[in-house]
Structure formats: structure tokens, C-alpha cells
Amino acid sequence: MGDTQVNNTLEMIIPKPDITMAQGTTGQLEVIMPSWYTIGEVDIPSFKNTMCASPCMNFAWAWAHSNTIYLKYKDLSDKCRKDDKVTITCRGFRSPISPGNQNNDVKISTFDNEKDQRPIAILKGNLKDTVFMPVLIPNEDLKIEAVATKTEVVDVKAVKAVVEKKNANGDVEVAAKAGVPAVMKSVDTYKILLSLKVPIPMMKQCFINVYMPQQLEIITDSTEMQGFGLFSAEGSTSMDKTESTEPRTGKKFYQFSGCNQIDGIGPDPYGTLVLNNVRRKDGQVTTGGHFRIQIYGKTEDGL
């Protein structure tokens, strides 16, 4: 996911600087970057507030507009000119939505320092071996609100009392009789609202894992989860979820498809997940423990 931290660095290598760069010690560079991804009809640039440096030269100025970085360099060293390459690093880049090589071209144009900026060389290449770490969402970007509610559930004891009978040995057994009316009772529960802001741009199609505190449980199956914004299901607010268990830890979590609507994604993603009919497993209504939310971008391999 597109991290925008300032230590997220792009490295560019210009080969054969003796013929691809200006003959003097000053010149200009123009770097055209691909958009990482498109949300709706809006292209998301691959960088934000970029800062560039090189061991081979100083930069008189650098500025960026749209998908292009403009650099004016000075004091190009003789040593670097004689080497096979010049390396420039620029910070402030977003990682692409998934790791690996990016097929979009990067174009680097070199110019002399004349007023008419005569072009010297145009270099093209793909981004390779993109490495990124998952972004940690700050705690303050997840708001949790619990609202006390009442939920109607089947009173198991009352149903047993209706269907109990004695068998031939005089022992009591519970018969699963067809047509036995469900006996309902009202229990104290919570409606929990998880409101989340994500500090990175997001595109459509993602998977979301939600880990609930071990003390809590959802006690009915109908419309127990509803999603809005980036949590929205396809064409509905009710979640088509799967309950899974981590093999190593045994922790249970719910997984569902998210990022289905334009509303809630883009440069400033947000969403609200509503958990209905929640209570503690011991029957109490006091909350506790920690919620954990993981968001994965969809790739050709799934997650």
C-alpha cells in the first residue's frame, strides 16, 4: 500500500554520464514518473514533496508538478563523469499498491544549461524490485464507539422445557420436534462502531481482516456486520464475510472484500464498520480487549 513516508526512496541510475549528461558541470534533468494507480478518473502520482540528492553533484533547485520532477544540477564531479553511472536518490515516494517490478516506463531526459535547454539524451526504463513495508495505522485513526442495545435470541432453556420427554428407560431426552415454537428472550448487547481513517491512498478492490477481542462474540447471524466507505460491500451494506482462524496463534478473525465503492477510497480513505449484537462470552456487556484491522490490496495472486 502506498506509503508516503519521507524515507521511502527511489534510486535512479544514469549510465555513461560522459555522453548522456551536459559536458560542463551544470545541466538539467526531467524525470517523468508513471502514476501508481487510478481511482475513478483520477491518477494518483507516485511521489509527494520529493527531495533529491546525489554524491556526484549538488542541486540548485528541484520542483515537481503532476508526474514530473525537474532538477537543475551544478558541480558535477569529474570522478562521476568518468564513472559508468551517476546515481540520484529522491525521497518522498509512495510505494506501489503491490510489490515487484512495475511495467510502466520511467523517462529521464537530460538537457544542457543553455537558455533553449537543448536535449542530450532520453533514457527509459522500468521500476525494478520495488520493496515496501506495510503501513501501520496510528491508534488515533481508529475510533471505537459502543452503544448499548437489546437483542432477541432463542431462549434455549425454555425451548428444552417445551420438547423434553422421557424415553422408555425413564431418562429425560430432548426431542427436536418439528413445529416447536421458538421461545425468545431479550438480552443486553452492544452495537460497536469502528471508524477508520487510512493514512495512504487506496484504490478499488481490497481484502479486510477484522480481529475481535477474544472476550467478545456476535450472538446472531443476520445483518451482524454492516460496512460503509472503504468497508462497503459490493452493492450492499451487509458484509459477505468468512470466519477464519490463524494456524499459528489460533486467533479467529473475519475476512471480507472491501474498497468496492469510490466513496471512501482515493487520496484520503475512510470507513465505518458496524458490529451488531455483540456481547462478552460470559454474558456480560462490558467491553474489553483490542480490535485489530488489516487491509490488503488485491493482486493477481489474491492477497
Domain boundaries defined on the chain: 9-130, 139-151+189-297
Give the highest mean pLDDT range of 99-103, 160-164, 225-229, 240-244. Answer: 225-229
pLDDT at 302 over 60: no
- pLDDT category, 177, cuts 50, 70, 90? very low
Q: Which residue has the cell 434455549?
A: 156
Separation between Cα atoms, residue 278 and residue 16, nearest integer Å:
65
pTM, full prediction: 0.59
pLDDT at 117 over 70: yes
pLDDT at 265 over 90: no
Q: Which residues, listed in sequence order, are joined to residue 200 by a DSSP beta bridge?
A: none
Say what percent of the chain tops pLDDT 90: 13
DSSP string, 190-208: EEEEEEEE-SS-B-S-EEE
pLDDT at position 110: 93
pLDDT at 270 over 70: yes
At 32, list the grid cell.
Answer: 517523468
pLDDT at position 2: 44
pLDDT at position 120: 92
Stretch 231-240: mean pLDDT: 74
Beta strands in 66-218 (DSSP E): 68-74, 85-93, 100-111, 119-130, 142-154, 164-166, 172-174, 184-197, 206-211, 216-218
CATH number of 139-151+189-297: 2.60.40
pLDDT at position 190: 82
Confirm if 279 and 188 have CB atoms less than 8 A apart.
yes
CA neighbours within 13 Å on the CB side: how many for 177? Answer: 14
Q: Which segment of 222-236, 247-261, 283-297 scores lowest on mean pLDDT?
A: 283-297
Burial class (CB in 10 A: 0-12, 13-18, 19+), 147: exposed
Stretch 256-278: mean pLDDT: 86
pLDDT at position 157: 59
Confirm if 212 and 13 have CB atoms less than 8 A apart.
no
Inter-CA distances, 192 with 2, 98, 141, 148, Å: 29, 32, 16, 9
Q: Which residues, listed in sequence order, are joined to residue 93 by a DSSP beta bridge?
A: 47
- pLDDT category, 284, cuts 50, 70, 90? low
pLDDT at 58 over 90: yes
- pLDDT category, 95, cuts 50, 70, 90? low
- pLDDT category, 7, cuts 50, 70, 90? low
Mean pLDDT (the chain, rounded)? 76
Confirm if 89 and 10 have CB atoms less than 8 A apart.
yes
At 128, list the grid cell.
Answer: 525494478
Stretch 277-296: mean pLDDT: 75
pLDDT at position 30: 93
pLDDT at 168 over 90: no
pLDDT at position 130: 56
Phi, psi of 131 (to 5 degrees): -120, 135
CATH architecture of 9-130: Sandwich (2.60)
Buried b (16+ CB within 10 A) or exposed e, 57-68: bebeebebeebe
pLDDT at position 111: 93
Separation between Cα atoms, residue 55 and residue 86, nearest integer Å:
8
Stretch 150-163: mean pLDDT: 58
Separation between Cα atoms, residue 133 and residue 143, nearest integer Å:
24
- pLDDT category, 96, cuts 50, 70, 90? low
**Fold equal for 9-130 and 139-151+189-297:** yes
